[in-house]
Chain A
Amino acid sequence: MKQDQIVMERSAPRSSKQEARGSAIKTILFHVHGDAMLDARLEAVLSIARSFGAELRLVHVTPTDAYAVVDAFGVFVNLEIIEALDAEAAKLRTRLEARLADENVEWTYEEVAGSLMPHLVHCASLADLLVIGREPKSPEFGGQVISLLGGLLDHVRTPLLVLGDEVVGLKPSGPAVVAWNGSHEAADALRASVALLKLLPGVVLLTVEEAKGGKTPGTQARDYLSRHGIDSRLVSRPRMGESIADDILAGAYAEDASCIVMGGYGHSRAGELLFGGVTRTLLKGCALPLLIAR
């Protein structure tokens, strides 16, 4: 009896180590934003960190620059507001650190005062995955979702996982559905997300018919993935819904997807980052997690 017990105990850590060893996602950056969805997001990202064997870096930014008023005489900062913000940040930190104390995931918590975007961009460069939520449009936090994400994506090469509005985290049994239209952006998205795709149970390259035909055939994408040891399927759907975004979402549901993967960016002549219509729609709202990679 005792021998059996010893054998069982040793097996458990070995299998979780095996999973973790195959993972190339070792550093996950999570943006802490104190809104209603935070707890659900934290659970989701903890689950991801656990199964990938990654270290979780939580970053909370107090956007003090949103409260600095600049006029001809200098910069004025309303001290009371700053103090209130700092107090809120401290409370949030205490609560989260207590929640994380018993987790068997390695984590660090960083509290920063300043501008959100540059800091996230900076931290993300040495991270393998950046996880954020689709934060509610909130004037006091200085901006809308799309402009924040736009700014991030312009500079960040790290894949960005925007947790879903309804299905917050990654379903363990669902494949990744890659929105594939043969374009350069789609190919870039595929290559940039390989590390994550390897860890998911499967990959579906989903093409919505009548979407812009690109130059790279799906078969070439499949070959590329298979050299990385990733099996994938090519699936085609007709244009049926109100928009291509709807069709992609419908396709994702049909495949019981864990997430939708896309690149979907372009540059205007002025060099500004512009989102293609489909990406823009999904960035504004998507029930499933969205992986943006470029």
Chain B
Amino acid sequence: MRTEQQLLMERQDERTEAIRPRAPGIHTILLHILDDEFHDQRIDNGLALARACSAHLSCLHVTPFQAYVAFDTFGGIFVMNDIMQALDQCDYELRQKVEQRLAKEDVSWDYEQVSGDVASTMIGRAALADLLVTARLPRRADFVGPTIGLIGDLLQRARTPLFIPAFEGPSFDAAGTAVIAWDGSVEAANAVRASLGLLELAKEVLVIEIPERRENSPKLFPGTKVLEYLSRQGVHAELTVEQPPSGDAGADVVADMLVARARGAGAAYIVMGGYSHTRIGEYVFGGVTRILLTECPLPLVIAH
């Protein structure tokens, strides 16, 4: 009978519609390839993300031109051939290693090797990526590693959200619990919007709001506004508002509470905004963000 068939079709459609994510999603992931101690872990994270989001993994290795260009005290520029050759060899071996690794995976990928300024090159490529996987290396002095300085540059100049893997721990689980560190700022709101593609995949989303002491408090969004926004996007989240013990806490107390709460909830990652004021120097960050960048044991998704 026609009416029954019609009903059946409706129900099936609704089921498939419910599964299909709504937000534009993450379809192109830019993975920063760097031959440091976290190299494999970064690739693991990139692969886990690409699989979870059914995204294309774009690998980028940048050989900083400063590595083989020397400046003398009179302003002359030398390109040191031996060093160039050695670097080319290193780059080639790295590429081989990574490509061999990726060839075994069932993820769509490509590899690009570029010489240039690390930050500018990454920022340029990031424009057509939905997520950028990079690493944090605490307190590294040289320009090669993805230091906080690079992350700061990326945050300020690139619009793509950053995924920063944890130092160690279980492999990334996109279907785990997502925690949103909410401070009511415009930056946090931007971060939530930018990470919708990931939030949709999480089995649970927790918004943790911890009022922080601020000198010039800009107008704040209450956590409930985020819940409303997310629910309109089909993501159902819960809100917890935590009061710091003394009622007026600095960044380190807030950061501790946040990490404790996130770990307690078994969070797979934390979403947060970057910093609220213009950077005046290389290592100046909004307090909580900086602390989490240096110390957080969980992966971070940061946007600005």
Interface residues on chain A, number (Cβ under 8 Å): 43
Interface membership of B278, Cβ < 8 A: yes
Identify the stretch in B137-145, B218-226, B239-247, B248-256 within 8 Å (CB) of chain A at 4 or more residues: B218-226
B residues less than 8 Å from A236 (CB atoms): none
A126 touches B13 (CB 8 A): no
By size class, the interface of chain B is 35 or more
Interface membership of A6, Cβ < 8 A: yes
The one of A24, A215, A216 that contacts B24, using a Cβ cutoff of 8 Å: A24
Could you give, for residues 191-222 of chain B, a 1 whenever the CB lies within 8 Å of some chain A CB and a 0 otherwise? 01110100000000000000000000001010
Known A126-B229, A221-B128, A228-B25: A188·B193 in contact at CB below 8 Å:
no
B residues less than 8 Å from A22 (CB atoms): 20, 22
B128 touches A228 (CB 8 A): no
Known A126-B189, A227-B28: A7·B278 in contact at CB below 8 Å:
no
Interface membership of B183, Cβ < 8 A: no
Which parts of A61-105 form the interface with B (CB within 8 Å)? none
Known A6-B3, A27-B232, A126-B193: A14·B13 in contact at CB below 8 Å:
yes
Interface membership of A173, Cβ < 8 A: no
B3 touches A7 (CB 8 A): yes
B2 touches A216 (CB 8 A): no
- The CA of A220 and the CA of B123, in the complex, are separated in Å by 16
Known A23-B22, A126-B193, A227-B28: A271·B232 in contact at CB below 8 Å:
no
Minimum distance in angstroms from B278 CB to a CB of chain A: 7
The one of B2, B6, B233 that contacts A24, using a Cβ cutoff of 8 Å: B233
Minimum distance in angstroms from B246 CB to a CB of chain A: 29
Interface membership of A21, Cβ < 8 A: yes
- Chosen A-B contacts, 21 in total, with CB atoms closer than 8 Å, are A7-B3, A21-B20, A22-B20, A26-B232, A26-B233, A54-B232, A121-B186, A122-B221, A125-B189, A125-B221, A126-B221, A184-B123, A184-B124, A190-B127, A190-B128, A191-B129, A191-B130, A215-B124, A216-B128, A220-B128, A221-B128
Q: A22-B20, A24-B22 given; name 17 further pairs at CB < 8 Å.
A: A3-B2, A14-B10, A21-B17, A21-B20, A24-B24, A26-B233, A27-B229, A55-B232, A121-B186, A125-B189, A125-B221, A126-B193, A188-B127, A191-B127, A195-B23, A221-B128, A227-B27
Q: Which 5 residue pairs across A and B have the least CB separation, nearest first? A: A187-B127, A125-B189, A227-B27, A26-B232, A194-B24
Q: Which residues of A pack against B, CB within 8 Å?
A: 3, 6-7, 10-11, 14, 17-18, 21-24, 26-27, 54-55, 118, 121-122, 125-126, 128, 155, 157-158, 184, 187-188, 190-192, 194-195, 198, 215-216, 220-221, 224, 227-228, 271, 294
Q: Which residues of B pack against A, CB within 8 Å?
A: 2-3, 6-7, 10, 13, 17, 20, 22-25, 27-28, 55-56, 123-124, 127-130, 159-160, 186, 189-190, 192-194, 196, 219, 221, 225-226, 228-229, 232-233, 278
